[in-house]
Chains A and B, each alone.
Chain A
Amino acid sequence: MTAQVGGAAPGSTPVVAQASLQGRYAGFASRFAAFALDEGVITGVFMLVLASASFVASVVTGKPIHWDRSNLWVVLAFLGWQFLYFAYSWGASGKTAGMAVFGVRVVQPDGTYASSRQAVVRTLALPLSFLLLGLGFLGILVGGRRRALHDVIAGTAVVYSWDARAARLRFLSRS
């Protein structure tokens, strides 16, 4: 199945299938879906690690230990884990697990990999886009290069790394 892009007449080959989309600026839905998946992964892994640590601590100390979100250390650990997850992923490969699933990646404006410094800056600037009542993400919808506030600050962009045309051909070969 291939998504239909604006301008495609009914019955004709969708634009997405005609172009590979690789290197095109990624849209809001893909980026948001990737971010949501990343948050799910981050939270899931953190909860798993937290539960495991609680169990180990309970066994070691012999006392029942319950860590939850009200604990400052837990909050700090969660924020640190998030920072580590995003900064390392963007610096190492340009994409997190969620971005890999949805076929998008962080690049420099010239298309090369984002540097480690840019990855760190982007991670630190990411909360700003939320703190401004979500206005930081408006650039994805209205900007020419679909850049959010943290992209502008870090000097990065997000593009599709997924070959839509190959997907279309795979679909045709299976049908």
Chain B
Amino acid sequence: MDPVSRLRSVGGRLVPPAEAVAQAVAERAVELVVSALDVNALLARVDMDAVLDEIDINELLGRVDVNAVLDHLDIGSLLDRVDLNRLLERVDLNQLMARLDLNRLLANVDITAIVQQVDVNQIVQQVDVDEVLQKVDLDALMARLDMNAIVQRIDIDAVIQHTDLGAIIARSSGGVAGNALDVVRSQTVGLDEFLARWVARLRRRPYTGPPGPSDVHQALEEA
């Protein structure tokens, strides 16, 4: 028998147990070393800034396929976990709004398209107009109105035509002579009608009051 072959067979039998022993020894040694190590002290010795300076973050990020990462993300469930109220409590909205350039923002917004989508009637039906009006400072509003400009827009002639001037005149103060004149005229008109009624009775015709075409009435009013 070849002596080399014999040695190989002996070696083949001894190697597996030896490897197992070596593995156990190594694990134990590592365990002892790790337990003996003060990781915090070790990290404290590391100059993280220098380490980060050595790393090219952009290149690192360039290697990352963000889309693939996002594809694996369930944004919905992620957002479900977010407590928005708590988040918003930590946000200073005033400061945020102060940073916003609203004019620039609004310049990009198609207000007309938005308004066309709004059902104004439905909104108005939900509005408590009385409550809104109670909040309005009418004095301040009136102070901002240019009454002269408004009055100039009014068609005075049309207003007068629709005004019961008779009632207005009635409220105005009348003198004693005016009162007497009203009495005299009223009495005379009463006499007119008395005579007219009797004449109609003699003629056996119905009497319905003083006659008069409407055109005469209108012409007199216009005059």
Stretch binding the partner chain, chosen from B18-26, B94-102, B213-221: B213-221
Q: Looking at the complex, which one of B178, B187, B208, B220 makes contact with A170 (CB distance below 8 Å)?
A: B178
Q: Does A159 contact B220, Cβ atoms closer than 8 Å?
A: yes
B212 on interface, CB distance cutoff 8 Å: yes
Q: Does A6 contact B170, Cβ atoms closer than 8 Å?
A: no
- The interface size bin for chain B is 35 or more
Q: Looking at the complex, which one of A3, A103, A113 makes contact with B193 (CB distance below 8 Å)?
A: A3
Most B CB contacts (10 A, CB to CB) among A5, A25, A168 go to A5
Q: Looking at the complex, which one of A22, A25, A145, A166 makes contact with B221 (CB distance below 8 Å)?
A: A22
A113-B166 contact, Cβ under 8 Å, with A3-B188, A174-B179: no
Q: Does B207 contact A7, Cβ atoms closer than 8 Å?
A: yes
Q: Does B185 contact A167, Cβ atoms closer than 8 Å?
A: yes
Q: Looking at the complex, which one of A6, A110, A173 makes contact with B207 (CB distance below 8 Å)?
A: A6
> Interface residues, chain B, CB within 8 Å of chain A?
165-167, 169-171, 174, 178-179, 181-197, 199, 203, 207-221, 223
> Interface residues, chain A, CB within 8 Å of chain B?
1-7, 15-16, 19-30, 33, 101-103, 107, 109-113, 141-142, 144-146, 157, 159-174
Could you list 10 A-B pairs, sorted by A, with CB under 8 Å? A6-B193, A6-B207, A16-B193, A20-B166, A23-B220, A23-B221, A25-B212, A30-B185, A159-B220, A173-B171
